[in-house]
Amino acid sequence: MNFNFDPESNRYQFVKHRYKYFLLSGLLIGLGLLIIAIMGINLGVDFESGSTLEIMIQDQAFTSEEVEAVLADLGLEPGSIRLIGNNNEIAEVRFIGTLDQEQITQVRQAFAEHFGQVDINESTVSPMVARELARQAVYGILLASVAVIIYVAIRFEYRFGVAAIIALFHDALFIVALFALLRLEVDLTFIAAVLTIVGYSINDTIVIFDRLRENMKFAKLKTVEDLEQLVNRSIVENLPRTLNTSITVVFAALALYLLGGEGIRNFSLALLVGLLAGTYSSIFIAAQLWFEWKKRELKKKLFHPQNA
Amino acid sequence: MRWSMILIFVAIVIGGLTFMAFSVDEVVSDITLGLDLQGGFEILYRVIPIDEDQEITQDLLNDTYTALYRRVDAMGVSEPDLRVEGEDRIRVRLAGVHDPEEARRFLSTEARLSFRNTDDERLFGGEHLKEGSARAVFDEFNQPVVTVEFKDPELIGQVSAEYLGDIIVIWLDFDEKTDSFAEESLKEDPKYLSAPVVRQPFSTGASITGMPSYEAAQELASLLNAGALPVQLEELTARSVSPTLGERAMDLTVRAGMIGGALIALYMLLYYRLPGLVAALALFFYVYLVLVIFNWMDAVLTLPGIAALVLGIGMAVDANIITNERIKEEIRSGKTIMSSFRAGSKRSLRTIMDANITTIIAAGVLFYFGDFAIQGFALMLIVSIVLSLVTAVLGSRLLLGLLVASRAFDKQPRWFGVKESEISEL
């Protein structure tokens, strides 16, 4: 396998079909927002205070009924039970409303009576803290975006910065929508995944813009077609790098997802989706956004050559 | 062909790999693992006033911090991590604690001891206890009791003399609104600690009887010695990871990381040939360096930390890929291997710097504005990026430069993943 693409070839028209990509992304983003809006109301467990218990027994498998029966004896009704682990040896039980210390002790004892040795992980998140953490991350990302735009504006041109940030939000939104859809808990892992994708997405886009800027030095931009060709060429020249970087990072994320254990599964899933979205957006969206914007400037110049 | 360059290359690689192989165990075992990877208990408290008159000040927060620290100390937890967050929060992290429920109870009880009459009037309280005087012992009936001594025995003697032949109830954390002796005394397991009949005035000290076990007596004695909390604590979040599950997460993550890393190295080797080999070696150095630096910074390795590490691997590989693609482009344009390497390295450097600086800026802003959890991630991200630059730019360049300078690969574009047919005539 070898990714060799001839930049001179007209086979790769990444700019020409840009409206299709915009439409696709627009639809997906709309769908994502819709999911967030609808599922967000149903999220419940995530944003009301709740407790999650992860119960593991030695070399044995659970069934949901068994877990439910043990909890019912204690008068506890779980919000959800999920069996995880390679052989269903871990039960993840979520409660709406927090369990107090006594109740957790009772749960531990009850499971120990039924199944012998048990290990229990417990996490309780109050709604205030979950929201605060999410808000902090959002503020952080917004501020970081502004800083990135300023840096890119100094080093390149502000349009590059803005386009890179739009691509970044595009990628981050997919993770948020995914978490809303799969009803995964918004916790530190989630925040870490989003921040990781923020880093990756910026990096991935800036490299293409760097090539674009370099090619611009030698290009004589007289027509919109020139600009289109320039963007196409820059994307094509960067394709081997974009694809190879994505493939290698996906290797790492996939290995973590498949083999990394339950604690890291949400994280690696978010990472995988974010990486794919990031790769897609850096090939099909980011430079095309810049093109759309730059085109306007070019047209102005073309119609008013005396101002150029 | 210059064999000396090849020899230096081989010496660096073998020397480096040997050094890493022998020291990696030590480096890894020194790294402090987060709760999610070694088990333990983390709790975030909000400090709330005991009554309306109390205001949460920085001093009060510090006092609470100190009291909590003494309690953690009394539990015998090694390397506890306590920190004040914001204006009214304290986070406590106890690694390796096996009984989170006990730790929680021990931490959050206010431990306000009070001596009251049967009408619940307060006679005197914990403020009169001699510091550090509480002891768990067995009394003459071989029952576990806690003995305390008073700072001012005369005063206590006077007060208790009034209750000769009557009962003095000893309470822990008496709640003025809900607790009453009249109610509790009817219960099988009353909330108060004990209700002894005063046979003689308390002179030097008092015994608290009715302890269910010697362990309970010891716990109460340590609590009293550690001192009462000046405030109430409300749990905001709590997380406990059993050591078994933590260890399991660690094992699985490390194995997954190794397999992922091996796949990346293999892919780079197959795709980029010689520069791919260098990239794979640089990747080993990168992971090793990250662990050394994390260790040196006393950073706690958590799952988000591993996230930063993964992203760093991605960035390091990306820098190698950018350089290698550039070199390939230059070779294809018909330049010699030597000048392709030089031009490719030079032209890729600016791209790599721009991309990495942009990410560092984002991480820096997150570090500056984020709370501690986000800060930890951002800091590790910055460290990862800087190290990925060091290994991918300096390390790879040095190694590949040696190979190119040996001239063994002149006119061997295949070693760089370029077919002869792709090279255009100059």
Which two three-digit tokens encode residue B262? Answer: 């091996």
pLDDT tens-place string over residues B102-129:
788 888 888 888 888 888 888 888 788 8
Position A2 in a domain: no
Once rounded to an integer, what is the mean pLDDT over residues B185-195? Answer: 83
Whether the predicted pLDDT of B185 surpasses 80: yes
For residue B361, give the nearest of A123, A148, A256 by CB distance: A148
Query: For residue A308, is pLDDT > 60?
Result: no
Q: What angle do CA A130, B295, B34 make, to 5 degrees?
A: 30
Whether A149 and A227 share a structural domain:
yes
Q: Round to whole Å and give the CA distance between B11 and B330.
A: 29
A7 in a structural domain = no
Are A209 and A176 part of one and the same domain?
yes
Specify if A6 maps to a domain: no
Asked if residue A193 and residue A143 are part of one domain, the reply reads: yes
Q: Does B356 touch chain A (CB under 8 A)?
A: yes
Work out the minimum CA distance from A133 to partner chain B, whole angstroms.
8
In a domain, A9, yes or no: no
Residues of chain B numbered 326-345 and touching chain A (CB < 8 Å): 328-329
Tell me the per-residue pLDDT of A131-181, one tens digit each, with 9 for 90 and over.
777 777 788 888 988 888 898 888 888 999 999 999 999 998 888 888 777
Tell me which of B351, B386, B424 to substitute to probe the interface with A (most A C-beta atoms closer than 10 Å).
B351
CA distance B323 to A154: 24
| pLDDT surpassing 70 at residue B411 | yes
b/e A244-262 (16+ beta carbons within 10 angstroms → b): bbbbbbbbbbbbbbebbbb
| Residue A242: both structure tokens together | 């974009």
**H, E, C per residue of chain A:** CCCCCCCCCCCCCCCCCHHHHHHHHHHHHHHHHHHHHHHHHHCHHHCCCEEEEEEEECCCCCCHHHHHHHHHHCCCCCCEEEEECCCCCEEEEEEEECCCHHHHHHHHHHHHHHHCCEEEEEEEECHHHHHHHHHHHHHHHHHHHHHHHHHHHHHCCHHHHHHHHHHHHHHHHHHHHHHHHHCCCCCHHHHHHHHHHHHHHHHHHHHHHHHHHHHHHHCCCCCHHHHHHHHHHHHHHHHHHHHHHHHHHHHHHHHHHHHCCHHHHHHHHHHHHHHHHHHHHHHHCHHHHHHHHHHHHHHHHHHCHHHC
Tell me whether residues B374 and A193 touch, CB distance under 8 A: no
Q: What angle do CA B396, B398, A208 make, to 5 degrees?
A: 40
- Report yes or no: B89 at the A interface, CB cutoff 8 Å: no
pLDDT digits (tens, 9 = 90+) for B362-384: 888 888 877 766 787 788 888 98
Residues A140 and A120 in one domain: no
User: Long-range contacts of range A40-44, CB-CB < 8 Å, 24 or more positions apart?
Assistant: A40/A180, A42/A183, A43/A180, A43/A183, A44/A79, A44/A96
| Sheet containing strand B144-149, strands side by side | B135-138, B144-149, B205-208
Same domain, A167 and A291: yes
Is A133's CB within 8 Å of B311's CB?
A: no
Q: How many residues does this entry show for chain B?
A: 426
CB-CB under 8 Å, B365 with A143: yes
Q: What is the pLDDT of residues A4-44, one digit of tens each?
A: 777 777 777 899 999 999 999 999 889 888 888 887 644 43
Number of domains making up chain A = 2
Based on the fold, state whether residues A147 and A245 are members of the same structural domain: yes
State which of A125, A142, A174 marks the end of a domain: A125
A245·B241 Cβ contact <8 A: no
pLDDT grade, residue B322 (50/70/90)? Answer: very high
Residues B322, A241: C-beta atoms closer than 8 Å: yes
pLDDT tens column, B61-71: 888 888 888 88
Q: Are B47 and B231 in contact (CB under 8 A)?
A: yes
Place of tokens 């590949």: B400
Beta strand B300-301 pairing with B32-33? parallel
Same domain flag for A60 and A135: no
Residues of A in contact with B358 (CB under 8 A): 148, 151-152, 164, 202-203, 206
Chain A hits for B355, Cβ within 8 Å: 202-203, 206-207, 210
Contacts of A139 in chain B (CB under 8 A): 369
The verdict on residue A120 lying in a domain is yes
Amino acid at A27: L
- Whole-angstrom distance, CA of residue B366 vs CA of residue B361: 9
Q: CB-CB: which of B252, B365, B377 is closest to A144?
A: B365
Q: What is the pLDDT of residue A76?
A: 83
Q: What is the pLDDT of residues A206-245, one digit of tens each?
A: 999 999 999 998 888 888 899 999 999 999 999 999 999 9
Q: Which of A201, A204, A182, A205 is nearest to A193 (CA)?
A: A201
- Chain A residues lying within 8 Å of B313, measured CB to CB: 249, 252
Residue A152 within a domain: yes
**Residue B308 C-alpha, separation from nearest chain A C-alpha, in angstroms:** 7
The pLDDT tens digits for B246-295 are 788 888 888 888 899 899 999 999 999 999 999 999 998 998 998 898 88
In this structure, are A119 and A133 located in the same domain?
no
Spatial separation of the C-alpha atoms in residues A182 and A79, rounded to whole Å:
15
CA-nearest residue to A267 within chain B is B307
Spatial distance between the Cα atoms of B134 and A13, rounded to a whole number of angstroms: 81
Query: What pLDDT does residue A211 have?
Result: 93
Closest CA to B208 of B194, B227, B225: B194
A248 vs B44: CB contact, 8 Å cut-off? Answer: no
Between vectors from CA B390 to CA B401 and to CA A1, what angle results, nearest 5°? 60
- What's the whole-number average pLDDT of chain B? 85
B346–A contact, CB cutoff 8 A: no
Residues of B in contact with A198 (CB under 8 A): 362
In a domain, A100, yes or no: yes
Could you give the C-alpha distances from B54 to B49, B58, B62, B230, in angstroms and in order?
A: 5, 12, 15, 10
Nearest by CB: A255 against B259, B306, B366: B259
Residues of A whose CB is below 8 A from B308 = 192, 196
pLDDT one-digit tens code per residue, A257-281: 998 877 778 888 888 999 999 999 9
Domains and CATH numbers, chain B: 3-36+241-422 (1.20.1640.10), 40-108 (3.30.70.3400), 111-230 (3.30.1360.200)
Residue, of B91 and A195, whose pLDDT is higher: B91
Angstrom distance (rounded) from CA A95 to CA A76 = 9
In which band, very low, low, confident or very high, does the pLDDT at B426 lie, cut at 50, 70 and 90?
Answer: low
pLDDT at B204 over 60: yes
The CATH code of the domain that includes A174 is 1.20.1640.10
What range defines the domain where residue A101 resides? 50-125
Nearest CA in chain A to B267: A248
Contact between B37 and B249 (Cβ < 8 Å): yes
Neighbour-count burial for A209-242, b at 16+ CB within 10 Å, e otherwise: bbbbbebbeeeebeebeebbbbbbbbbbbbbbbb
Q: Which of A101, A129, A240 sits opposite B236 (nearest CB)?
A: A129
What CA–CA distance (Å, rounded) separates B302 from B310? 12
Cα(B3)–Cα(A192) distance, integer angstroms: 47
Distance (Å, whole) CA A132 – CA B88: 14
More confident: B200 or B350 = B350
Q: Which of A85, A106, A125 lies at the terminal end of a domain, its last residue?
A: A125
- Give the pLDDT of residue A126: 67
Same domain? A115 vs A241: no
| Mean pLDDT within B127-143 | 84
Q: How far is CA A233 from CA A168, A219, A239, in A?
A: 22, 11, 10
Residue of A123, A138, A248, A258 to mutate, testing the B interface (most B Cβ within 10 Å of its Cβ):
A248
DSSP string, B319-361: HHHHHHHHHHHHHHTT--HHHHHHHHHHHHHHHHHHHHHHHHH
- Residue at a domain's end among A82, A99, A125: A125
A157 and A76 in a common domain: no
Classified as helix, coil or strand, B230 is coil
Question: Angle B90-A128-A134 (CA atoms, 0-180°, nearest 5)?
Answer: 100
Q: Nearest chain B residue to A251 by CA: give it.
A: B260
Say whether pLDDT at B402 is over 70.
yes
Interface test with B, best of A234, A251, A279 (most B CBs within 10 A): A251
> Are B282 and B399 contacting, i.e. CB atoms less than 8 angstroms apart?
yes
The CATH number of whichever domain residue A90 belongs to comes to 3.30.70.3400
**Predicted local distance difference test score (pLDDT) of residue A292:** 93
- For range B23-51, the mean pLDDT: 83
Q: In A, which residues are within 8 Å of B422 by CB distance?
A: 4
Q: Which residues contact B313 (CB under 8 A, 6 or more apart)?
A: A249, A252, B261, B264, B283, B286, B287, B388
pTM to 2 decimal places = 0.77
**Cβ pair A245:B318 closer than 8 A:** yes
* pLDDT 10s digits, A37-88: 887 644 434 455 677 788 887 667 778 888 888 888 888 888 778 777 767 7
Shared domain for A266 and A172, answered yes or no, is yes
B 30-49 → A contacts, CB under 8 A: 36, 44
Query: Does residue A263 lie in a domain region?
Result: yes
Q: Are residues A99 and A217 in the same domain?
A: no
